[in-house]
Each structure stands twice: as C-alpha cells, then as structure tokens.
Amino acid sequence: MAPVRALLLENLSVKATEILEAAGIAVDNHGGAMDEDELIDALQGVELLGIRSKTMLTERVIDACPDLIAVGAFSIGTNQIDLAHAARKGIAAFNAPFSNTRSVVEMAVSEMISLTRRLPDHNRSLHAGVWSKSASGAHEIRGRTLGIVGYGNIGSQLSVIAEALGMNVIFYDSAEKLALGNATRMPTLEALLNEADVVTLHVDGRSGNRGFFGPEQFAAMKDGAIFLNLSRGFIVDLESLKAGLESGTIGGAAVDVFPDEPKKTGDPFESPLQNMPNVILTPHIGGSTEEAQRDIGIFVATRLRDYVNHASTSLSVNLPNLSLDQVQGSHRVAHLHENIPGVLAAVNQVFAAHNVNIDAQLLGTRGELGYVVTDVASGLDKEAVQALSSMPGTVRLRVLS
C-alpha cells in the first residue's frame, strides 16, 4: 500500500517532517505559501496538509481535493481554514493553541518597554548621525497601567509577567475570565481604554472581530498611551491609528499583524504606519522564535500522526474530540457521520450482519457531527466496508487496519 502523503508549506519546523516521516508518512516541503490554484494542484493525491497563516484552505480548495483527510495549522489561529466546510467533508483540523504563547508575551513586554522609553526614536536619531540624549518623554513601565484586551492564553500570561515587572494590570474580555494575581477585570472596553497607559490586543480571529478597534476606541484612550497589536491584522483600523500618532494622542505603537500581508519573505510591503516616529513594525513574528516553531512543529505534527495512525481527534478544532486506546491485535474503523439518531445502532448492525465482533468502541458528538471509533476482532470484508460507507449520514469512513 502506498504511504500517506503530506504537503508542508511556509517553512515549518524540521521537527514536523521528522515526526511524520518516522511514522512512515511521505513528506513534501515547500518554502512559501500557495494560492488556491497552486494548492489545488499540489494537493492531488495528498492526505495531509500543514500550513501557517498565509495559505488559505478555502471551500473551493477543499471541494477540489477529495484525498485530503487532515490539515494542521502550525499557528494559534485557524481563520485561514474554512473549518465548517472541512468538517462537512470529513477533514480534521488541528492547531497549536499554546506552543508560542511565551514568545508572543516576551515580544509584547519588549515592545512596551521600548516604546515607553522611546527607543525607536533614539535609534532612528543615532542612525541618522544625531546625538539626542534626553529623558523627555521616557518612562519606566513600573507603576504604569497595562490594559489587556482579550484575556486568553496569551493575555493572561502577559498579565502575570507584567505584574511581576511592577505594572498595574487591568483587562477586558467578552467572556467571563478568572483574573490572575492582582489583575482587575474592567466592565467595559471603554473603561479600560480610559485608564490604561499601555493597551495591548490579544483577541482571536473570528469574523465578528473585524474592524473591532477603530476611531472610537482610539479616541477613548488616554493621551500619550501606547498601543500594541500582536493578534490579528484585520481588527484594527490603521488609518485611525496613524491619525492618533500624528496628533500625539497616541504616544507610540507596535504592530506585528496587518490586514494584508505578503505571502513570502522578500515580497514588497506597504503600510500607512511606515516611517512614523516611535512606531515598531514587525512582519508577523510574534510567535516566530526557534523555540516556539520547534514546539509548534512537534505539537501539530503529533496530532496529524495520531489521526492518521489511530484516528484520534483529540484537540481537533472542528471534529468531535475522541481518543480510544487501541486493543492489541484489533482492527480500527473510524466512522464520521451526521449527528442523527440511530447511527451507532446502524453501524453495529453492520458489524453483526458480517459476524464482526467488537473489542472496544467510543462515540463522540460535536454540533452536527458524530464520530465513532471501533476496534473489531477481525478485518472487514469489502461488503461490510461498502455497507458502512453507504449508510445514510456517513461523512467519511476510514479503515485503519
């Protein structure tokens, strides 16, 4: 039988390749991102896809690539994947929700210190040959108030480290979150903006957050406050940020993510924030440390490997989460189906009709989908496989061994 094939894009960690190849999976690495047409061509006969943030797995791509069974987003966000359509087509999606948290937090800390000390201005002056030693406008972050918008994995860890540095921490999140340390939850976003000396965004990439931070929010910030965005580019109106910087109401900014980003290293880049004083622009590298990329590579590749070899959907972001310890010597059958009454009984009736004994079985559901993994004592004949595949509600059937 031909080995499972994987396509890995966007310069993923070598650890991902090592893990997949050790599991007998044939890996093809490609340095850059791909557009829809390129991706469709490259995915013919390919079962696994690994991407970062630039490659879009759209409905069109999914429909044109029937061999694809799983996709790994080697990143925190998954907005580059049409998760709902992937689920409807039986494609499991995995991401790395924790692996680069520390890297993003450290970058945010470094940027708020740099901007509060006005290091970009001093750096620019010296590169221009001008000696401008002055304490004017430079402050310690100790004793200042950090406002964190989005108190998830990154925001909460940043909260702890900022407090250890002597900052007062306030946060706002649309969901109920437990405050860590002495952090204070603010009742509204406006209340946070009115009080914070530094505002940092750590919200997710859901479509409802598009245009989340614009003229009204910048106007509500304290005069001279610092602004950071290391979350998603499309949530911030950059023209409004530019206006605030030009008027002096915003004292400095660090932006790591942009509404439109080049696909690969070396491509041209334009932003209204270029060449502005006390502004740090970085090319979406918040999680791009060697340590983070290594950990992400290990985490996501392991999820893909376990899905291929054991049908485990543990930590999948779009399918029912299920992991069944395999009975030694058994054969595994994974049946993804519409979440309608009677499917489990119908699956077991097929096994019974073909004299197949069940060693172990586990069912999970998630929204419109159900997923049942069954270990059986003997292999399935073609008639049994056909019966399971043609059952009403079947989305995808995988017979692993």
The more confident residue out of 253 and 267 is 253
* pLDDT of 252 above 70: yes
- Note if 261 is an active site residue: yes
* pLDDT of 198 above 70: yes
Confirm if 46 and 52 have CB atoms less than 8 A apart.
no
For residue 377, the one-letter residue type is A
* pLDDT of 401 above 80: no
Dig out the tokens for 385 from the structure: 């496989």
Whole-number Å distance between alpha carbons of 251 and 257:
19
- Give yes or no on whether 1-100+289-319 and 102-281 have one common fold: yes
Classify residue 209 by its DSSP letter. G
Residues 63-119: tens digit of each pLDDT: 999 999 999 999 988 989 999 999 999 999 999 988 889 999 999 999 999 999 999
For residue 259, the one-letter residue type is P
* pLDDT of 245 above 80: yes
Q: Which of 139, 261, 294, 398 is catalytic?
A: 261
Instruction: Supply the pLDDT for residue 205.
Output: 79
Residues 366-396: tens digit of each pLDDT: 999 999 999 999 888 999 999 999 999 999 9
| Percent of residues, the chain, with pLDDT higher than 90 | 88
Instruction: Supply the pLDDT for residue 328.
Output: 86
Q: Which of 284, 305, 332, 335 is catalytic?
A: 284
Average pLDDT over residues 186-191: 97
User: To the nearest 10°, the Cα dihedral for 115, 121, 126, 130?
Assistant: -150
Instruction: Supply the pLDDT for residue 59.
Output: 97
- Domain 320-401 in this protein, CATH class: alpha beta
Instruction: Supply the pLDDT for residue 215.
Output: 96
Instruction: Supply the pLDDT for residue 243.
Output: 97
Instruction: Supply the pLDDT for residue 1.
Output: 67
Instruction: Supply the pLDDT for residue 209.
Output: 86
Q: Which of 52, 232, 305, 331 is catalytic?
A: 232
Whole-number Å distance between alpha carbons of 116 and 113:
5
Instruction: Supply the pLDDT for residue 107.
Output: 97
Residues 158-186: tens digit of each pLDDT: 999 999 999 999 999 999 999 999 999 99
Q: What does pLDDT average to over the chain? A: 95
pLDDT classification of 227: cutoffs 50, 70, 90: very high
pLDDT classification of 204: cutoffs 50, 70, 90: confident
Average pLDDT over residues 257-265: 87
Average pLDDT over residues 218-225: 96
- Domain 102-281 in this protein, CATH class: alpha beta
Q: What superfamily would CATH give domain 1-100+289-319? A: NAD(P)-binding Rossmann-like Domain (3.40.50.720)
* pLDDT of 26 above 70: yes
* pLDDT of 35 above 80: yes
**Domain ranges, ordered by start, for the chain:** 1-100+289-319, 102-281, 320-401
Confirm if 335 and 347 have CB atoms less than 8 A apart.
yes
Whole-number Å distance between alpha carbons of 267 and 322:
41
CB atoms within 10 A of CB 43: 23
Residues 271-317: tens digit of each pLDDT: 999 999 999 999 999 998 999 999 999 999 999 999 999 999 999 99
Instruction: Supply the pLDDT for residue 264.
Output: 77
Classify residue 208 by its DSSP letter. G
Q: Which H or E element spans position 359? A: strand 358-366
Which residues make beta-bridge pairs with 81? 57
Residues 42-60: tens digit of each pLDDT: 999 999 999 998 899 999 9
Dig out the tokens for 78 from the structure: 């998954």
